[in-house]
Chain A
């Protein structure tokens, strides 16, 4: 089974780390590739470098100036182009990044590839009784559901779910990612600027803590303006 984990171009987020662990936990029959897309060449502190230390088999970076400050559609398109070339059976992402946290990336990749998407899975495993299928658990709507998913699929993984220790990886560890540009992938290298009209402008947000001395005051302020 070819598994690709999509990770940040910056430091590896908590949910992405969970996705890498989930991929590596699928067992020896799964080859795991990590992919990121960005405008800065991979460094020792990057998410891809971290995935190599965790034991993925291969890393790929989509590197292009057009990806300096991409919106989710642009990033999803760049990753989908790389994924098309890699031909995975299963694509994993973190359920949400540590910074923006909108949880859209899995859906964006699935949208571009026309794959089925399941978000915020709590655990995944290969279904040994059915070929090319995955077993996973999701929570929501008042129920905990065990699902069987026929691949290919995009699955996002929730952070904080306890997993078995990662298996030992044998063989040489790749020391640098394979680099593809958008032109290499046949995708437009035209820079796409951020779109505050559609994603919203960023404004500072801070609050000064207020001390209360009773539960009533806490509730009054907590549900006040």
Chain B
């Protein structure tokens, strides 16, 4: 039976929205492929009540089984030097068809080294799709798993077609931000397994200081509005688990974002390549005609407004997202 592993990103002890979206995506394709979905939780000391709460949350999000690793090593920054050993052991043991990382920063750090050690393909910012089998061309007659991912130069996509007979090589992938499916009412009985962190050689990396990142909402948000610095500074920052984030064009956290909806709101001096996109990301450009000298690639939505209406447009978009249940 195939396995799908999903790395769970905890923020203040709670699974991030992109993590629950990733589990929902895993659940969706696992249903078609007959696969088991594992949520991987790597954390420091954890009390039994927190395990119960996380088990329920992650089960509702789509996990069949939850692998908890509680160890001081993985309490540190999510780096290959701290987390790579654990993830490699899990990949070796469970031989997953897919090892998914949610949007939010840990995937680009942990995914490539894991893929290289596991002999896997690494696909950033994927869109997962299931298509019918190939018929006589594939004796297993099973469904095909299609992975699409956007290159930085967004003129072409890469498409990986994994028919059952081509699934010898596993795939490590990161996902864009998105919304988890509505959870079924009541609790879900996910199975818990405690796993040991493998003994590691001395880590050559010391954390000197750790400070909360006030812009971390950007990397988790499913909607990112890129605006001029003055407008970004004038607005109250969103909470860490919110799904909408306002970012300045100069914000370094933008490079960690991969939203479902990316909106450039008359942002001058913007760099279209600064934000990663997936094939499913919609890119909107709002402003008067000719306002942006160098529009970003792949704009597929435009909304012409006057310069003076920019601030009001932000409010209207936030209200529209709330009305649609997307904030």
Given contacts A108-B112, A111-B117, A209-B302, contact A141 B105 (CB under 8 A): yes
Q: At the interface, is chain B mostly helix, strand, loop or mixed? A: mixed
Q: B169: CB under 8 A from chain A?
A: yes
A196-209 contact mask (Cβ, 8 Å, vs B): 1 or 0: 01111111111111
Contact A99 B252 (CB under 8 A): no
CA distance A83 to B171 in the complex (A): 28
B288-315 contact mask (Cβ, 8 Å, vs A): 1 or 0: 0000000000111111100000000100
Q: A213: CB under 8 A from chain B?
A: yes
Q: Give the residue name and chain of the A residue nearest to B171 (CB).
A: A198
Q: A102: CB under 8 A from chain B?
A: yes
Given contacts A147-B207, A199-B121, A222-B260, contact A107 B116 (CB under 8 A): yes
B201-221 contact mask (Cβ, 8 Å, vs A): 1 or 0: 000111111111100100100
Quote the shortest CB–CB distance from B112 to chain A (angstroms). 4
Q: B321: CB under 8 A from chain A?
A: yes
Contact A103 B108 (CB under 8 A): yes
Q: A140: CB under 8 A from chain B?
A: yes
Contact A116 B261 (CB under 8 A): no
Q: On chain A, which size bracket covers the interface?
A: 35 or more
Given contacts A119-B109, A218-B317, A222-B284, contact A212 B301 (CB under 8 A): yes
Contact A141 B260 (CB under 8 A): no
List the B side residues contacting A160 at CB < 8 Å: 250, 252, 255, 271, 274
Q: B37: CB under 8 A from chain A?
A: no
A166-181 contact mask (Cβ, 8 Å, vs B): 1 or 0: 0000000000000000
Q: On chain B, which size bracket covers the interface?
A: 35 or more
A72-100 contact mask (Cβ, 8 Å, vs B): 1 or 0: 01000000000000000000000111111
Q: Give the residue name and chain of the A residue nearest to B152 (CB).
A: A101
Q: A58: CB under 8 A from chain B?
A: no
Q: Give the residue name and chain of the A residue nearest to B81 (CB).
A: A116
Most chain B CB inside 10 Å of its own CB: which residue of A148, A153, A205: A205
Contact A199 B300 (CB under 8 A): no
CA distance A212 to B299 in the complex (A): 13
List the B side residues contacting A117 at CB < 8 Å: 80-81, 113
Q: A138: CB under 8 A from chain B?
A: yes
Q: B160: CB under 8 A from chain A?
A: yes
Quote the shortest CB–CB distance from B10 to chain A (angstroms). 9
Q: Which 9 A-B pairs have the closest CB atoms?
A: A101-B152, A140-B105, A200-B158, A107-B112, A215-B316, A222-B261, A207-B300, A200-B160, A150-B204
The 29 sampled A-B contact pairs (Cβ below 8 Å) are: A98-B152, A101-B151, A101-B153, A103-B124, A104-B112, A108-B116, A116-B81, A118-B81, A140-B213, A141-B105, A141-B106, A142-B212, A147-B206, A148-B206, A200-B160, A201-B158, A202-B156, A205-B157, A205-B298, A206-B155, A211-B304, A212-B301, A215-B303, A215-B319, A216-B320, A216-B324, A219-B261, A219-B326, A222-B261
Where the two chains meet, the residues of A that have a C-beta atom closer than 8 Å to any C-beta of B are 14, 73, 95-104, 106-108, 110-111, 116-120, 122, 135, 138-150, 153, 158-161, 197-216, 218-223
